[in-house]
Structure 1
């Protein structure tokens, strides 16, 4: 209880706790940054808390180095599978636990028989001789659960287990969870889809801003009350001043028509006018990130069309998107936003080589002159443009990524969670720069689940399970946005009985237990 975890100045958990009772399915919900992932790391022994303790069945948790002891108590089935696709199911189930003969060789027959008995014991119908790469998502999850149970663990954490499953597979997963509950297995269920909480869970705990907010029986909490607990009161950045209305005759800088991409999103239509800031809100599996990356040229849609300032860039081509006038800030600056050992000057100007020299040759003088202008405009704290980006703070690194996006004077600026991992002062500055860019006549598309990123938007489009489900004008209420992002209707007489489903019309009118 009372767990605190800090990473530098960031408080990931602040005296938070959860108590999960045996044989239950306990939900843990909270918006992005609430502390759920940090709690899972602590519960599974991958991270040690700075304060507080973890107890299993009343006993203190094992030492962090004793991985076998942790595996006997708890396991997590992550959204991203940990199954090794090149190995067979049997090999995955007993990895590093093979039976050996007196010559030190693996007894393959015995291994397969033991694996088959394990799966049969837990009613998992999978051929243990198959390469794990041939299993579908549902089968991989069941194999991972069986593997966890084989160590003796009876407490299983399911992290977004339904994100890649269709309705029939979700129903089978829930049937399996209930059957395992009857055999004494306890589950901690983490999901962004609130209707699933009401279907499968007994108890729900809400985290918000790294703190425990409430724990109660699911049956005692309506959808509206759950959304309110997750959203809280409007906090964070100062509310943006009202923006001047975008002229009705403003030209269209982005037109998306009938766009579909795999299971990520389907039949999306949207437009952004010159000088307009449009928000694209949605939870992790809503499709918002994939849609924004498609507009920026990182993905090629299966069908539909994208038009940027009157041009149709080649699908899946970042150079074509740049040439059409797209500036882009990706969701992960460390892996997608900059080249770590390159200088600020090289990173900030890499999208505009034609401005740096003739015949494909780059003039260091021109590059540094442009870089200094960008450094001044973005208020990047650095002794000079030659400093490697790794020498900057997180907020200044993000400013470099923004500088690169603005270097080409884009007609359309596409941003994915543009203020992730930066301090409040840097966040306010970056969002002010976005508003300044729109005031200069560029269109802006912001894809994020952070409400602070979205407050300056003229319009907010909300995605749920790959579809645009509602549009909100500026002045929206936090609860309405969070409800729409989580697929919940708050405009019905009894909201607790009316979760949103993708089969409904594509609009919303409103928008012994582990003890930590």
Structure 2
């Protein structure tokens, strides 16, 4: 259901942050009733454009128009919400409020006292309308990543805006959840809702979008119909060059290498049970499965974010205290969490400060940190991981998603860990950043670390020497290197347990 009317137009948008030009004469035009992809590498200007399209930033030059009319004044937030809603990659859910309170924050009632029973009833109706299987009375802080994402989508849609921005909505969703989202997006499009879809997964662009705009180096590069744009031309527009496929390394497993991370009879009620695993030095072991398989819960238990009900975890020969992250770190484990925004870094601290948190005690004497030594280590990590930044003192909050993720990995590798647990390391990053992140994990393993890699991306799992497939909280298959997509997906869906 499309027309020739433009739901939104951005013309000649320029935005500067000090000496940095975030957008340079950029533009985008989206027709009513279509799903339009905005893609580009990290740092291309996508997030800045989103902040301008939602009225959070004012452009230095250029104009925004909705349905042919000028955008409202920046201070008129209600007028902006009537025109555009955004589901951000970084969750805006308030964890100390209930689901119902989050859905109707600042609009609990038109006047007078809040009718809490009516509010919960409205919330249940909204959740049912958008297929979100979450208790309206639950605390938002108890929700998983997928549930928080779906709650964000339901809340954005509830404002009634006819133009919705979805910023990396699939980055931390598994396959079935993505398909549920896409089904809802198709239904909304049939109702005339216009969407701008931001993703680093080009297959998703071809599956759900009708048109696409590419940004590179703060500029608009091209806009085209998806069906008329070959995949290789799209990649070339994003990168300015042909991007080579990742070269997966070959390793020969050493059965005599020491075990650096082990679990025995590990169990956590409602998530997994009877888990035994052993990861050797120089080995990458993958954990694969659906969102309900228990793979993320298992990984978080290995690092001490969760406390197991049964069993033990051993890191580099040391039995660690359950539910105690410092204990696992001291034993020699590095960790990249699933949600970098909430668990991966401190936004207002610098790159050097974030990346050296595990080794701060080694950067000075008598409890004092040497700023020079911290910056030196920060510079080294920036070089090793190719972090795009103005320098080690730049706040991580100012970085693009892919570069922020590199800082999280730099922190995990700072103390040369003997074991690594890495959860969805490439979620929401571009092709080149993905190659850098996977390469850094392989480098650590080549130096003698053992790694557990949890990912919803089959391409990420190809660096693994073997993959443990989880299904309903149990390991059902140990798949060696050389698997096919069909074989692995069948095991993940519980079709093949042989």
Name the structure 1 match of 2:79.
69
Q: Could you tell me how far 1:45 is from its partner in structure 2?
A: 1.0
Name the structure 1 match of 2:324.
317
Name the structure 2 match of 1:296.
303
Which of these residues, 157, 163, 170, is aligned with residue 165 of structure 2? 157
Cα separation, 1, equivalents of 2:277 and 2:454: 13
Instruction: For CA contacts below 8 A with separation 6 or more, give which structure has more relative contact order.
Output: 1
Secondary structure of the 2:63 match is coil
Q: Given the alignment of the two structures, is residue 503 of structure 1 paired with residue 493 of structure 2, yes or no?
A: yes
Cα separation, 2, equivalents of 1:313 and 1:97: 46
Equivalent pairs counted in the alignment come to 440
Alignment gaps of 5+ in structure 2: 1-10, 383-390, 397-403
Cα separation, 1, equivalents of 2:17 and 2:409: 23
> What is the TM-score with the length of structure 1 in the denominator?
0.55
Name the structure 1 match of 2:158.
147
Cα separation, 2, equivalents of 1:184 and 1:45: 23
RMSD, aligned α-carbons: 6.9
Which of these residues, 69, 75, 81, is aligned with residue 59 of structure 1? 69
Map 1:64-463; keep pairs closer than 5 Å: 64-78=74-88, 80=91, 82=93, 93=104, 95=106, 98-100=109-111, 106=112, 140=151, 144-145=155-156, 147-149=158-160, 153-161=161-169, 167=176, 171=180, 177-191=185-199, 197=205, 201-205=208-212, 207=214, 210=217, 212=220, 214-220=222-228, 233=241, 249-255=256-262, 273-275=280-282, 294-300=301-307, 307-327=314-334, 349=359, 364-365=365-366, 392-393=393-394, 410-412=417-419, 435=443, 441-443=448-450
Alignment gaps of 5+ in structure 1: 101-105, 357-362, 382-389, 474-483, 492-498, 507-516
Q: C-alpha deviations, 1:21-80, integer Å up to 9, x for none?
A: 101222344565554433322211112334543222233323322223312211123463
Cα separation, 2, equivalents of 1:35 and 1:137: 26
Secondary structure of the 1:54 match is strand
Secondary structure of the 2:51 match is helix
Change (3 A) 1:13 1:198: same
Change (3 A) 1:304 1:58: farther
Secondary structure of the 2:29 match is coil
Cα separation, 1, equivalents of 2:441 and 2:178: 45
Cα separation, 2, equivalents of 1:372 and 1:91: 43
Name the structure 1 match of 2:5.
none
Name the structure 2 match of 1:43.
53
Change (3 A) 1:62 1:131: same
Secondary structure of the 1:72 match is helix
Cα separation, 1, equivalents of 2:47 and 2:282: 37
Q: C-alpha deviations, 1:85-116, integer Å up to 9, x for none?
A: 8579699558358544xxxxx2778x969x97
Q: Based on CA coordinates, which of the two structures has the bigger radius of gyration?
A: 1
Cα separation, 1, equivalents of 2:82 and 2:281: 58
Change (3 A) 1:74 1:367: closer
